[in-house]
Chains A and B, each alone.
Chain A
Amino acid sequence: MGKEKELNITLKVWRQRGPQEKGAFETYQLEGISTESSFLEMLDVLNEKLVKERKEPVVFDHDCREGICGMCSLYINGHPHGKDQEVTTCQLHMRRFNDGDTITIEPWRSAAFPVIRDLMVDRSAFDKIMQAGGYTSVNTGGIPDANAIPIPKPVADEAMDAASCIGCGACVAACKNGSAMLFVSAKVSQLALLPQGKVEAAKRVKAMIAKMDELGFGNCTNTRACEAECPKAVSISNIARLNREFICAKLKD
């Protein structure tokens, strides 16, 4: 890979001690960052530098670093997970930046995701929505054979596309209303499409929407920012299905 270059960059990073404390941007200079390194590896370099200077490192969530755990959550130059399409922050590479760039890094911006420290936010609201109904009510064991109910391939594929949501929260962060509709719709769609999930579809959609509203997420006004920023390209057509499921369920009440 002979295309490697080195960049000198300026970072403006949001620093905030705790949820109740006032935050501010701090400016840092980094030199000689390899274009082959990932964005988070660049932050590792920053943190090593800070530790060497006996300062506290920048706190940010990250884990798998291969785009699937949904833990990383940075707002980079005004975009969740940066400007690239269909990547998580950990998959963003420094080759997408130029020498001399200034990069602004903020935490997810949403009332439902309060800052814990610096760039780390509390996304437990997503777990609460899942707990309200994001499942099929089956216990372990005593299940009929997996091939007992054939599922048309296009349906299974569509369910899989919805199920590819990683629960990172970029949709909420991107939305001017702070809506969690794309996240909720991905789970509702996946389960409503499959015969195993259809059984409780009506109950599920009502419970998840009610919980979503209760937790302070905003409404959907079809700006499609969520779809544009989703690292897994979860389609907004899931929101249409969610609305349909919800209305049908409510009509039966």
Chain B
Amino acid sequence: MSEKVKKIDSKIPEGPVAEKWTNYKAHQRLVNPKNKLKLDVIVVGTGLAGASAAASLGEMGFNVLNFCIQDSPRRAHSIAAQGGINAAKNYQNDGDSVYRLFYDTIKGGDYRAREANVYRLAEVSNSIIDQCVAQGVPFAREYGGLLDNRSFGGAQVSRTFYAKGQTGQQLLLGAYSALSRQVNKGTVKLYTRYEMLDVVIIEGRARGIIARNLVTGKIERFFGHAVVIGTGGYGNTYFLSTNAMGSNGSAAMQIYRKGAYFANPCYAQIHPTCIPVHGDIQSKLTLMSESLRNDGRIWVPKKLEDAKAIQEGRKTANDIPDEDRDFYLERRYPAFGNLVPRDVASRAAKERCDKGFGVNNTGLAVFLDFKYAIQRLGKDVVAQKYGNLFQMYEKITDENPYEVPMKIFPAIHYTMGGIWVDYELMTSIPGLFAIGEANFSDHGANRLGASALMQGLADGYFVLPYTIQNYLADQIQVPRMSTDLPEFVEAEKGVQDKINKLMSIQGSESVDSIHKRLGHIMWEYVGMGRTKEGLETAMKKLKELKKEFWSNVYIPGEANTLNTELEKALRLSDFLEIGYLMAIDGYNRNESCGGHFREEYQTEEGEALRQDDQYSYVACWKYTGENSDPELLKEPLDYEETERKTRNYKN
């Protein structure tokens, strides 16, 4: 592994952090309306980031091509976000401000995010709420008719806007409706059930993509003056995650192999409140919204014998009197209590379960109890706030959370790492941009709840539509290129060769069976608690598994038609590479920060111990070839505005 330090230019504007974005916008280059008509922009993905970007670019007059793998843009996994979206409106008069949202996000990210980006995110957050209300997003309201807020982890103010437990759905449908309007106007052309399989680079710039029509199996070429990747995160590397079944990291890996840096791959978020695993044939994990921690209290029994009795089915939660319950988050973190950030809550649950206090038959669960909220507020109020989440829980587990506490356990939920982008959201390949969860930019080593929706929409509505013009202003003289150019032909051939190779293996293992094995390796060695030895083991096992995949996978059917097993195999081939990147990055990062917890680096109380003198940088991994380890480049993180401290949620 090379330790060579290369300076990476993140193009952060000069000036005080609060003025950077204003200054940038005042001085950036723009494209005039007539020239916009001559420019094609490809947007891959229709989640919050992709749909909002495609719609906004279409409104501006660009000619947009928008791709998604689902049957409709409305299916993108942003739709599953439950709890809410943050903004610094300070409608509650509780002391919120742009600066405080910025500060909370930097601190929540364990001082591993770029200050300038985060400040801009906090700055545009308020416009997002305005925009969504204008689209007809039915946010929750108070009786006076004004917008309601609730609290989320890592904040001491109520700044989270929500629409029942379906905020992501409502925001995505808002973006989808804006997108639909542009499709109707003809500014956006939609390609549903299409999967990007490579980016096309011409003279060093992104100029198009190769995509497979998932219904016909046909490989097609598309030209764009610029390409925007909004394809989400890579949490499905773990097989079991809260991501949708189709969520994948393949677009990110395709552009990584073409020279885009992959930043901080080891930063994965493990969400503390998911429904525990039930068995081998489980296909995904369901998240229970963080908003539940507003009123639910998390506990395990104080006495080991009680925990054992619950595990063996001899006792239930309701048999344990209050004095024998250990509300361990309230005990350890009095100031934030049950609303500590996700990484802290997840590790605390793991710590209790590792010590034997887990509360279901596998010993891998803790209680999330609403008894106290029901006593305090009444069942009706609780039902109004969380009714649909309770119903969802009951459907899956057949247990009624009004009567018995929920059982929850951490699961992979979100990836803070992703494609490296500069301040303009451009990757290290000119003309190639990455937005939303697909990029690495704003959450540092840990994302706060209700901030993913904020970032996706900030990137898509208010950042990229500006910054992309600074690039496209140069491109107005570039005519639309033919997709018969040799670069397109060659990229398509590469895709075709890969598919042919996969189809020809004709081994004996199904795609899912290998993916499950990948998931086990990742959860075991690159999960909540990582060690040097564990990561070494992971890298070794991942190399073996990759070899096995490429020699023993079996894909039925044919390539030139609809083939769901081939789709999964193509994605798995990339997950195997991402898993390795995550392991090598975690191995390199000899510290604990946010979602990356190296067991060797912790305080006596078991809290994450950062090594700011050595690791205050963005780890950017550069592809060096199929069989060699990637090269590490470092973008130093300078903190001008905030003082780096050990995160304290105790007092």
Contact = CB atoms under 8 A, between A and B. Distances in A.
B361 A1 contact: yes
Interface in A27-52: 34, 36-38, 40-41, 44-45, 48, 50-52
Contact of A190 (B134, B138, B169): B138
B136 interface: yes
A80 B80 CA distance: 21
Interface in B5-62: 52, 55-56, 59
Contacts of B79: 64, 68-69
B135 A138 contact: yes
A145 interface: yes
Contact of B565 (A57, A126, A164): A57
A31 B286 CA distance: 26
B181 A163 contact: no
A167 B192 CA distance: 15
Interface in B165-200: 166, 168-170, 173, 176-178, 180-181, 183-184, 190, 192
Contact of A67 (B136, B279, B392): B392
Nearest to B140: A156
Contacts of A124: 71-72, 192
Interface residues of A, number: 79
B512 A48 contact: yes
A1 B71 contact: no
B138 A123 contact: no
A66 B181 CA distance: 28
Contacts of B136: 135-136, 159, 163, 190-191, 194, 196-197
A71 B79 CA distance: 11
Interface in B284-341: 284, 286-287, 313
Contact of B77 (A64, A93, A130): A64
Given A135-B178, A167-B72, A146 B510 contact: no
Contacts of A147: 89, 91, 146-147
Nearest to B73: A127
A51 B554 contact: yes
B174 to A, nearest CB: 9
B185 to A, nearest CB: 9
B131 A3 contact: no
Contacts of A131: 180-181, 183-184
A136 B180 CA distance: 10
A183 to B, nearest CB: 12
B233 interface: no
B282 A37 contact: yes
Nearest to B365: A1
Given A144-B130, A156-B140, A166-B169, A70 B74 contact: yes
A249 interface: no
B71 A61 contact: yes
Contacts, number: 226
B164 A51 contact: no
Interface residues of B, number: 85
A126 to B, nearest CB: 7
A234 to B, nearest CB: 13
A1 B397 contact: yes
A196 B461 contact: no
Contacts of A153: 141-143, 145
Given A124-B192, A140-B56, A196-B136, A68 B166 contact: yes
B554 A1 contact: no
Max chain B Cβ within 10 angstroms of own Cβ: one of A117, A135, A163 = A135
Contact of B133 (A66, A122, A146, A157): A146
A124 B132 CA distance: 25
A243 B23 CA distance: 51
B444 to A, nearest CB: 27
Contacts of A167: 72, 74
Contacts of A196: 133-136
Contact of B360 (A1, A93, A152): A1
Label chain A's interface by main secondary structure. Answer: loop
A48 B392 contact: no
B24 to A, nearest CB: 16
B191 to A, nearest CB: 11
B70 A63 contact: yes
A27 to B, nearest CB: 19
Nearest to B130: A143
A76 interface: no
B475 interface: no
Given A51-B565, A127-B190, A131-B181, A40 B134 contact: no
Interface in B210-230: 215
A69 B184 contact: no
Contacts of A87: 395
A63 B245 contact: yes
Contacts of A163: 136, 138, 163, 170, 173
A134 B170 CA distance: 13
B512 A140 contact: no
Interface in B86-107: 89, 91
Contacts of A117: 562
Contacts of A40: 283
A220 interface: no
A48 B397 CA distance: 24
Choose among B131, B168, B313, B391 the residue with the greatest number of A CB atoms under 10 Å from its CB. Answer: B131
Given A67-B392, A143-B134, A1 B278 contact: yes
B281 interface: yes
B557 interface: yes
B462 A141 contact: yes
B71 A123 contact: yes
Given A1-B278, A130-B176, 13 more contacts: A34-B279, A59-B562, A65-B283, A65-B284, A66-B286, A127-B183, A137-B181, A138-B135, A139-B59, A140-B178, A146-B139, A156-B140, A164-B166
24 contacts: A1-B397, A2-B313, A37-B282, A38-B283, A48-B513, A52-B510, A56-B556, A57-B564, A65-B244, A65-B286, A69-B80, A69-B244, A71-B71, A117-B562, A123-B71, A130-B180, A137-B181, A138-B131, A140-B56, A141-B131, A146-B139, A147-B91, A153-B142, A196-B134
Closest 7 CB pairs of A and B: A150-B145, A135-B177, A160-B138, A159-B138, A143-B130, A146-B133, A140-B56
Interface of B: 52, 55-56, 59, 70-77, 79-80, 89, 91, 127, 129-136, 138-147, 163-164, 166, 168-170, 173, 176-178, 180-181, 183-184, 190, 192, 215, 244-246, 278-279, 281-284, 286-287, 313, 360-361, 391-392, 395-399, 461-462, 465, 510, 512-513, 554, 556-557, 562, 564-565
